[in-house]
Amino acid sequence: MNELVSKAQKAKELTGLLGASSTEEKNKALVKISKALLSQIPYILKENQKDLDAGRSNGFSEGLLDRLMLSETRIKDMASALTQLAELDDPVGGVTFEDTRPNGLKLKRVRVPLGVIGMIYEARPNVTVDAASLCLKTGNAVILRGSSSAIHSNKALVHVIHLGLLESSIPKEAVQLIEDTSRETAEKMFKLNDYLDVLIPRGGASLIQSVVEKASVPVLETGVGNCHIFIDDTAEHSMALDILINAKTQRPSVCNACETVLVHEEWAKLHFSSLVNSLITHGVELRGDDHAVRLDSRIVNATEEDWATEFLNLTLAVKIVTSVEDAISHINKYGSKHSEAIISENSNHVEKFFTFVDAAVLYHNASTRFTDGFEFGFGAEIGISTQKLHARGPMGLEALTSSKYIILGNGQIRS
Amino acid sequence: MNELVSKAQKAKELTGLLGASSTEEKNKALVKISKALLSQIPYILKENQKDLDAGRSNGFSEGLLDRLMLSETRIKDMASALTQLAELDDPVGGVTFEDTRPNGLKLKRVRVPLGVIGMIYEARPNVTVDAASLCLKTGNAVILRGSSSAIHSNKALVHVIHLGLLESSIPKEAVQLIEDTSRETAEKMFKLNDYLDVLIPRGGASLIQSVVEKASVPVLETGVGNCHIFIDDTAEHSMALDILINAKTQRPSVCNACETVLVHEEWAKLHFSSLVNSLITHGVELRGDDHAVRLDSRIVNATEEDWATEFLNLTLAVKIVTSVEDAISHINKYGSKHSEAIISENSNHVEKFFTFVDAAVLYHNASTRFTDGFEFGFGAEIGISTQKLHARGPMGLEALTSSKYIILGNGQIRS
């Protein structure tokens, strides 16, 4: 039997036991893994170096190398995230509905683990530890499939996770890495409905697109963020600038960064040059519609594709709009249903924006950069859902659970 | 543009307006449709007769013809279900999470419609009215794709629904029927991610399987029920018989009927013949494992396939098991994760069964036939989910909603 199927089968066999594991047992495992990480820093760095060397000789960009790189600090951060996770409430077993029916049946709906989770991700070794620990905390078994460019790092991290698990009562097969990083194996994973309960892709738009298109296993779609900020006619000048600069430049490579600013024409009349000045000072390159280009010659013409692009760098699309309705219809046409903000002092416009924009997270007078499980107070995050089923927006521990109805009777039959 | 895409596009354009419709407007539409159904009974019956005639000449079974058939009583029942639905609480707008973060951001998560729902179903015209009304109540647009064998009935029912909607403020395009019932069009619908937010298949195992395998639009998997009843060693004799007879024979063609009984060998020693007598008296045909066949020669040998089959008739598989663990492992191997019951007076065994059986609904000392939105007190049901994401078990109105985070700030930026 091949590696994927035999590991997936093993994971499935464990689901009952993992679901029945106590919060204490799971937390102990997390703490043991945290300790194992701290004690194995030199080994992890040595293995990570192999991936970095290969990446460099394959001409990886600095950004990509940075995501791939582990350091003593980064490993210590992972270790401390694990002990923090151990302190969070365990959602498993929580009762989300209770009722006694007229016929005496007692109904209860309780949270249970999803079962076996397949993670498919790119060259970010931190996802290995993140995903493994969140799945452990929620009693799920996880099958990790990272990219070939991080294979040494991932193998080392999973080895260290297993060292931790061996000192706990949780079997090490709760966390398994698929070492065969071929595309064929990934595509087999998409169709492994007999063993996997859900697939979570983490990475760029094309990876996520491919999983959504090809998978028959249910998918939790995460992450692509083509986020907009709409500066309304009544927007307070300095607040609008501060929020836009923050959302665009504080960390441009992440999904909750701003990719297009929509500026109300009335506001633009008074403040457009100061906005453009400030953006250019922060190194932002602007691509605009005809109206924006007319207002400021430092802006180059945007293409149709630019409106739909998640730039993930310091490029920003700019469009002058005539109304809140105009802004809403642009966002619903080009947005990726992630995070959208309105800067306005007009409560009718805010209400309209909240009602008609179709996205996971909507902001009034705040930066889109807050869309994040930690900023939301969830204490953890497995990704940001941009789909509508199951979970929307930042997904914390609860998103990694399903439910079960438990019904107590005393002989009831249906008439 | 073809029918499917143009209707799907129209549906998507309506989502904002439908999401913003008040509960009163939606309820008024439901009442108007109810009235339209009552006033159009002769027309509906005449159109339904065309489908019945075609079905008969195509050699449809009596069971299939019965599902296809409408009658004055059945139409009146539909009409009264609509007025009852109008009286239920509207989940849209409900707040499911609220928090104020240390930085002053006010977070709120509210229920919103899913958007556009694609229903794919077989020759049951009642699903047309059911699905349309549940989607209307929850502010969703719906694209209905029924089977060709019910096309006259479905066209008539959607025409009547439109008559009702024309007397309300809800646009008639909230409910649209795809009149092209070709397989190619259905398969295009599976991939219409740009317009559809979710697909709900309703029908037999092969229809559901095909949607799950081929769709890239997220699917709410419903319905296949290979349900088991486990009679433990301590099961009370007459209770076990009553529950099994009810679960198997009260309505054998539905998904929550029992398909396999697992009998503890100790219980079988005392009560097996009386169980078999009672089942045979009720017209049940038994297929058993070697042990069961040895105990009673009226039982024929079951094939491997029988254990995995949803018979939907009076056939029942019978297996003698040695323990609750044995029963659990059989259920987890062959079950469809729908509804599973244990009849027992041993609370440890019940606890074990509840913990380790992986299914949407678990019963102690009650019939599996109760897995139903109305029996659960939800007042409505769009189907029974056998998957783990989004909703599990009977899906009422809440299962037809997603959520949106609404965040109020006063200039917050991320540091």
What domains are there in chain A, each with its CATH number? Answer: 3-221+387-408 (3.40.605.10), 227-370 (3.40.309.10)
Given this model, what pLDDT does residue B59 score? 95
Given this model, what pLDDT does residue A204 score? 83
Average of per-residue pLDDT across A382-388: 92
Give the minimum alpha-carbon distance from A216 to chain B in angstroms, rounded to a whole number: 5
Whether residues A218 and B219 touch (CB distance < 8 A) is answered with yes
Out of B361, B363, B414, whose CB is closest to A367?
A: B414
Neighboring chain B residues of A411 at a CB cutoff of 8 Å: 236, 239, 242-243, 365-366
Give the minimum alpha-carbon distance from B410 to chain A in angstroms, rounded to a whole number: 5
Judging by DSSP bridges, how do beta strands A141-145 and A116-121 pair with one another?
parallel
Whether residues B402 and A414 touch (CB distance < 8 A) is answered with no
Using an 8 Å Cβ cutoff, are B72 and B155 in contact? no
Look at residue B286 and give its three-state secondary structure: strand
Average of per-residue pLDDT across B231-244: 98
Rg of chain B in Å (alpha carbons): 24
Give the minimum alpha-carbon distance from B62 to chain A in angstroms, rounded to a whole number: 24
Whether residues B405 and A362 touch (CB distance < 8 A) is answered with yes
For testing contact with chain B, the best of A211, A362, A410, A413 (most B CBs within 10 A)? A413
In terms of Cβ atoms closer than 10 Å to its own Cβ (0-12, 13-18, 19+), residue A190 is buried
Give the residue among A252, A44, A55 at the shortest CA–CA distance from A147.
A55
Find all residues with CB under 8 Å of A7, minimum gap 6, and list them: A143, A173, A176, A178
Tens-place pLDDT, residues B46-81: 999 999 999 999 999 988 899 899 999 999 999 999
Neighboring chain B residues of A410 at a CB cutoff of 8 Å: 365-366
Out of B361, B366, B411, whose CB is closest to A412?
A: B366
Neighboring chain B residues of A212 at a CB cutoff of 8 Å: 193, 216
Using an 8 Å Cβ cutoff, are A18 and A140 in contact? yes
d(CA B158, CA A366): 45
Whether residues A355 and B19 touch (CB distance < 8 A) is answered with yes
List the structure tokens of A98.
């209770």
Tens-place pLDDT, residues B28-41: 999 999 999 999 99
Out of B19, B191, B243, whose CB is closest to A413?
A: B243
What residue of B is the nearest CA neighbor of A363?
Answer: B407
Whether residues A367 and B412 touch (CB distance < 8 A) is answered with yes
Q: Provide the β-strand partners of residue B404.
A: B110
Neighboring chain A residues of B411 at a CB cutoff of 8 Å: 236, 239, 242-243, 365-366
Neighboring chain A residues of B107 at a CB cutoff of 8 Å: 376-377
Neighboring chain B residues of A106 at a CB cutoff of 8 Å: none
Tens-place pLDDT, residues A103-126: 999 999 999 999 999 999 998 999
Given this model, what pLDDT does residue A30 score? 98
Given this model, what pLDDT does residue B1 score? 66
Out of B107, B354, B412, whose CB is closest to A376?
A: B107
Confidence grade of residue B306 (pLDDT, cut at 50, 70, 90): very high
Given this model, what pLDDT does residue A164 score? 98
Predicted confidence (pLDDT) at residue B20 exceeds the cutoff of 90 = yes
Given this model, what pLDDT does residue A205 score? 84
Predicted confidence (pLDDT) at residue A1 exceeds the cutoff of 70 = no
For testing contact with chain B, the best of A191, A217, A405, A410 (most B CBs within 10 A)? A405
Neighboring chain B residues of A328 at a CB cutoff of 8 Å: 16
Look at residue B329 and give its three-state secondary structure: helix
Give the minimum alpha-carbon distance from B60 to chain A in angstroms, rounded to a whole number: 29
Whether residues A413 and B375 touch (CB distance < 8 A) is answered with no
Whose tokens are 């029945």? That residue is A20
Average pLDDT of chain A to the nearest whole number: 96
Helix axis angle for A151-166 and A23-39, nearest 10°, is: 130
Give the minimum alpha-carbon distance from A193 to chain B in angstroms, rounded to a whole number: 9
Whether residues A246 and B413 touch (CB distance < 8 A) is answered with yes
Out of A243, A402, A413, whose CB is closest to B388?
A: A402
Out of B214, B365, B390, whose CB is closest to A409?
A: B365
Give the minimum alpha-carbon distance from A154 to chain B in angstroms, rounded to a whole number: 28
Neighboring chain B residues of A333 at a CB cutoff of 8 Å: none
Predicted confidence (pLDDT) at residue B222 exceeds the cutoff of 90 = no
Confidence grade of residue A63 (pLDDT, cut at 50, 70, 90): confident
Predicted confidence (pLDDT) at residue B124 exceeds the cutoff of 70 = yes
Question: DSSP for B214-234?
Answer: H--S-B--B----EEEEE-TT
Neighboring chain A residues of B406 at a CB cutoff of 8 Å: 354, 362
Instruction: Indicate the residue type of B150.
Output: A
d(CA B224, CA A34): 43
Q: How many CB pairs under 8 A join A and B?
A: 206
Give the minimum alpha-carbon distance from B406 to chain A in angstroms, rounded to a whole number: 5
ipTM: 0.93
Whose tokens are 């073809």? That residue is B2
What residue of A is the nearest CA neighbor of B246?
Answer: A413
Average of per-residue pLDDT across B358-374: 97
Whether residues B389 and A220 touch (CB distance < 8 A) is answered with yes
Give the residue among A124, A142, A146 at the shortest CA–CA distance from A134.
A142
Whether residues B412 and A365 touch (CB distance < 8 A) is answered with yes
Tens-place pLDDT, residues A307-363: 999 999 999 999 999 999 999 999 999 999 999 999 999 999 999 999 999 999 999
Predicted confidence (pLDDT) at residue A207 exceeds the cutoff of 70 = yes
Lowest mean pLDDT among A286-300, B137-151, B372-386, B388-402: B372-386
Tens-place pLDDT, residues B134-162: 999 999 999 999 999 999 999 999 999 99
Find all residues with CB under 8 Å of B137, minimum gap 6, and list them: B26, B27, B30, B85, B86, B88, B90, B380, B397
Number of H helices, E strands in chain B: 15, 16
Neighboring chain A residues of B390 at a CB cutoff of 8 Å: 389-390
d(CA B146, CA B163): 20
Find all residues with CB under 8 Å of B152, minimum gap 6, and list them: B47, B48, B50, B51
Predicted confidence (pLDDT) at residue B89 exceeds the cutoff of 90 = yes
Whether residues B101 and A376 touch (CB distance < 8 A) is answered with yes
Give the minimum alpha-carbon distance from A30 to chain B in angstroms, rounded to a whole number: 23
Whether residues A408 and B364 touch (CB distance < 8 A) is answered with yes
Whether residues B408 and A243 touch (CB distance < 8 A) is answered with no
For testing contact with chain B, the best of A22, A231, A388 (most B CBs within 10 A)? A388
